[in-house]
Chain A
Amino acid sequence: MLDRTLNEQLRGLDKGEYSSVDLTRAYLDKISANNQLNCFISIADDALQQANEADKLRASGSAKPLLGIPIAHKDIFCQSGVKTTAGSKMLDNFVAPYDSTVVARLRQAGVISLGKTNMDEFAMGSSNESSYYGSVKNPWEESCVPGGSSGGSAAAVAARLCSAATGTDTGGSIRQPAAFCGVTGIKPTYGRVSRWGMIAYASSLDQAGPIATTAQDCALLLAQMAGHDPKDSTSSKNETDDYLGKLDKDIKDVTIGLCTEHIQSLDSSMSQILDQVVKKLELLGASFKEISLPTSHLAIPAYYIIAPAECSANLSRFDGVRYGYRCEAPVNLEDLYKRSRSESFGAEVKNRIMVGTFALSAGYYDAYYKKAQQIRRLIKNDFLSAFEKVDVILGPTTPGPAFAIGEKSDDQVAMYLQDIFTISANLAGLPAMSFPAGFIGKLPVGMQLTGRYFDEARLLNIAHQFQQDTRWHKQQPGDLL
């Protein structure tokens, strides 16, 4: 039953093939047997109790859409009464006193929370190596990274330690680990899912979304996560689309764009995989057009101004005064601030806070922050004109497959280039998803679809149709207990 998709598990529960307690117990056993992957920061000690209640509810005829399905939450989502660390020593002692909207909505839909997944510290990283709780290992090859920052969530789904998990994506943090781990993940339009209770990294870019094995499961989860939330002023009031209902449409009327600038940069193995995906989608009836995103090369520099600038302010609240880590015996206020922060933030977080602080400083603001915002508008305009010609844009999620743990730790720019294909969607606020599309060696790679604002249903539809006809998403890493 652990090999099944979330949708299949729901049917199994409905038919009484197994109970939620069975499912939950099996996952807990598998999680503990695969501790070496380091996917989880904490395991819910009440998971079986939640499952038991779900079984009772099911017996009493409850129609909650995801009733009894165990999932995992990225440890960036506050969950009342549960330790919520954001992968940082700073919050190692922080037990959230309230629920994030994502956690609350999914619980309302009936899910069981198995635990909190590992992540790059404060979601800053592309490899999960910046976590205070240590690197997550890629289930396909344990010497490799799972990607980041939602690496724990993607690896857990890949290893079938849960059928689905929540993630967040600021510059590719759902899509890149989904690609590296051979699973499916979607970053919705900015504002589609509430950010309330999601620990902020870069507020204008952060967006929550699901990671699962299939597009269908992502649709099931997104349907519950999406929607307006009065507690998040940036959350959209648009009606939530019918993600599930539109999965089965054919894609004959769909025009897919291929970005010239991206294709030119690909190595031959990735290029071949893209070609095969294009052929498959053509067989399904889609037509293709080449489009240009001329400012896409500016996305990474713009991102690495805007995200650090916002994070430099967002992380100011972690000051050792009200909660979180506080240094021993501070001699005065400045000492309290300096040591509490220096002793508990990791190197990548410190680096970004300093870059952001610099970029916002008097005399530099116009040259950096303001310029980056101008670039952001250009990138958005590029997409808007591309979407006059095509419905979605297809390309690889990452330049290559997962790299070895430690391989890029000393080369920050190489690490940042991991996000070259994913970052633009965050800067423009567009929905984008990654789905498994093949292997390079024994490592999976993913393809990315980027769509118009609030067109998540179309992305899920195309990925679902592709998955009806392919088996990449069904591949599982071997050698696991």
Chain B
Amino acid sequence: MRSDWEVVIGLEIHTQLSTASKIFSGSSTRFGAEPNTQASAVDLALPGVLPVVNEGVYPKAIAFGLAVGATIGKKSSFDRKNYFYPDLPKGYQITQMDHPIVQGGEVEISLPDGAIKVIRITRAHLEEDAGKSLHEDFQGMTAIDLNRAGTPLLEIVSEPDMRSSAEAVAYARTIHQLVTYLSVSDGNMAEGSLRCDANVSIRRHGARTLGTRTETKNVNSFRFLERAIEFEIERQINVLESGGRIKQETRLYDPDKDETRPMRSKETATDYRYFPEPDLLPVVIDEAFIESVRATMPELPAQKRSRYENDLGLTPEDSRILSSELGLATYFECCVEACEDAGLAANWVRGDLLGNLNRDGLTIDQAPLDAETLGQIINRIKDQTISGKIAKTIFTALWEGRADSVDQYIASEGLVQVTDASALEPIVDKIIAENPAQAEQYRSGKTKLLGFFVGQVMKETAGKANPKQVNDLVKSRLG
């Protein structure tokens, strides 16, 4: 029975730092280049080459550390992790063992039921990525592409604080949101900029010790992460309930078959023989440097969410959605600045803007109309130049590229709201005259028909009439 078991999950998230060049060489980190065209003498580990740290990695790692409330290591040094593999040219990976740059910290995650949970972070350390082994297309041979070798990574290690795949996914999403907010990483999961290793074990409820864990490596989408963990939970329950024992091992998730399978057994795994990297001197990170990084950090998602709720008066749901991505939040805030009405801006951004983006498969950066323009539409509603209905027409015209600017379109299409009573009265009278039966019913108490008359007037004026004014006029004429 699944309910008999408690699931324990910890994640190691490798996030690629968005630097232009590699962590220990000057080679480009651009994605998608021809194999081995971005591999220098250092990346190839030619005899005699030496690593030099790309100093651009420090502010990024520190920004992440500050964002999760971690201690920033005052002395940051590198170590060698030794193992042989063809896509690891030096035969060791330069990583941080003894003095990781980020120590401790925590993040809050929001669960689907609205609850908030704190997940502790053990550490985050800088390291270099390996190259890529290509097994297909080479008839029994393996090809090596070293373009990725030396790409800077921040490996973020959590405590085993998650108790379900949903929590694990929420945590991974939170980390993704943070690193993209901070421009620590581009977060592009399809290109491998964020990869998760999931450590999963199960134990009977109430058990004090942890069960034997497996590590499912290199999961590169949130959906696969959920599937991989779910598969692993089911598998472990089946093994234990049928009297077997879990082997501590590294597994790989195969999305095509929706299953995990063993990669290599940790019991026979290599001893990595870590020792301090003699080619790089320890770096002392002083308080002034940390403060200079802090000064350039943007407002974080959690801070934005609470500001939207408390200062702008948005609903919790609106606040959460609008702060979920830095691009979206920035758009929203620009829009508020332009129209000075957070409520209307929130409605338009969450409703029409996000709806259209989703429909057309666009990201916020690709939105056909910018935040100032949307703010202007809202301003024209506020100053009663146009009705909400006309506003949607303008929005669509701008979205589809049929309009250049809000005011120009209102003018050229004659969309200015009619608020002149002397212009509206004849129309109201005409509608009442054309619908004598409904007028009689209204007068005899069926006041629900007010909407019918208002609708007809709006139709007659092609939406340009002020609905509230029409409402009042119809009432007084029929009264």
Contact = CB atoms under 8 A, between A and B. Distances in A.
Contact of A333 (B51, B86, B91, B278): B86
A316 B48 contact: no
Contacts of A318: 47
Interface stretch (A50-58, A89-97, A109-117, A449-457): A89-97
B49 interface: yes
A309 interface: yes
Nearest to B85: A333
**Main SS of chain B's interface residues?**
loop
B46 interface: yes
A313 B279 contact: no
Contacts of A316: 82, 84, 90-92
B50 to A, nearest CB: 5
Interface stretch (A143-151, A248-256, A264-272, A358-366): A358-366
B91 A361 contact: no
Contacts of B280: 233-234
A8 to B, nearest CB: 33
Contacts of B65: none
Contacts of B279: 200, 203, 233-234
Interface string B156-195: 0000000000000000000000000000000000000000
B41 interface: yes
Interface in B79-127: 80, 82, 84, 86, 89-92
B281 interface: yes
A97 B86 contact: no
A78 B47 contact: yes
A121 interface: no
A109 to B, nearest CB: 20
B47 A91 contact: yes
Contacts of B84: 316, 319, 337
A423 B80 CA distance: 24
Contacts of A19: none
Given A97-B41, A319-B91, A322-B89, A231 B50 contact: yes
Contacts of B281: 233-234
A199 B48 contact: yes
B192 to A, nearest CB: 22
Interface string A187-224: 00000000111111011100000000000000000000
Interface in A304-343: 309-310, 312-313, 315-319, 321-323, 333, 337
B278 A86 contact: no
Given A309-B275, A313-B92, A316-B90, A322 B45 contact: yes
A84 interface: yes
Interface string B28-70: 0000000000000100111111111100000000000000000
B50 A195 contact: yes
B271 interface: yes
Given A321-B86, A321-B144, A313 B47 contact: no
Contacts of B477: none
A360 B41 contact: no
Nearest to B91: A316
Nearest to B81: A313
**Main SS of chain A's interface residues?**
loop
Contacts of A243: none
Contacts of B80: 313
Contact of B50 (A94, A196, A369): A196
A100 interface: yes
A18 interface: no
A233 B52 contact: yes
B407 to A, nearest CB: 57
Given A97-B41, A313-B80, A230 B52 contact: yes
B359 interface: no
B45 A365 contact: no
B125 to A, nearest CB: 18
A94 B47 contact: yes
Contacts of B92: 313, 316
A185 B45 CA distance: 30
A374 B48 CA distance: 28
Contact of A317 (B52, B91, B144, B275): B91
Among A197, A202, A317, the one with the most B-chain Cβ atoms within 10 Å of its Cβ is: A317
B257 interface: no
A333 B141 CA distance: 10
Contact of A98 (B46, B142, B271): B46
B273 interface: yes
B89 A360 contact: no
B51 A233 contact: yes
A97 B48 CA distance: 11
Given A316-B84, A316-B91, A317-B90, A360 B275 contact: yes
Contacts of B271: 361-362
Among A94, A197, A202, the one with the most B-chain Cβ atoms within 10 Å of its Cβ is: A197
A86 B41 contact: no
Interface in B254-306: 271, 273-275, 278-281
A312 B82 CA distance: 9
A196 B273 contact: no
Contact of A200 (B44, B48, B144): B48
Nearest to A90: B47
B52 A97 contact: no
B352 to A, nearest CB: 54
A242 interface: no
Given A78-B48, A317-B91, 16 more contacts: A77-B48, A78-B46, A84-B48, A97-B41, A100-B48, A199-B48, A200-B47, A231-B50, A233-B279, A234-B50, A313-B90, A313-B91, A319-B84, A319-B91, A357-B273, A361-B271
28 contacts: A84-B47, A84-B48, A86-B47, A96-B46, A97-B41, A197-B48, A197-B49, A200-B47, A204-B278, A231-B50, A232-B52, A234-B279, A234-B281, A313-B90, A313-B273, A316-B92, A317-B47, A317-B90, A317-B91, A319-B91, A321-B144, A322-B45, A322-B89, A333-B86, A360-B275, A361-B273, A362-B273, A365-B275
Interface of B: 41, 44-53, 80, 82, 84, 86, 89-92, 142, 144, 271, 273-275, 278-281
Interface of A: 77-78, 84, 86, 91, 94, 96-98, 100, 195-200, 202-204, 230-234, 309-310, 312-313, 315-319, 321-323, 333, 337, 357, 360-362, 365, 369
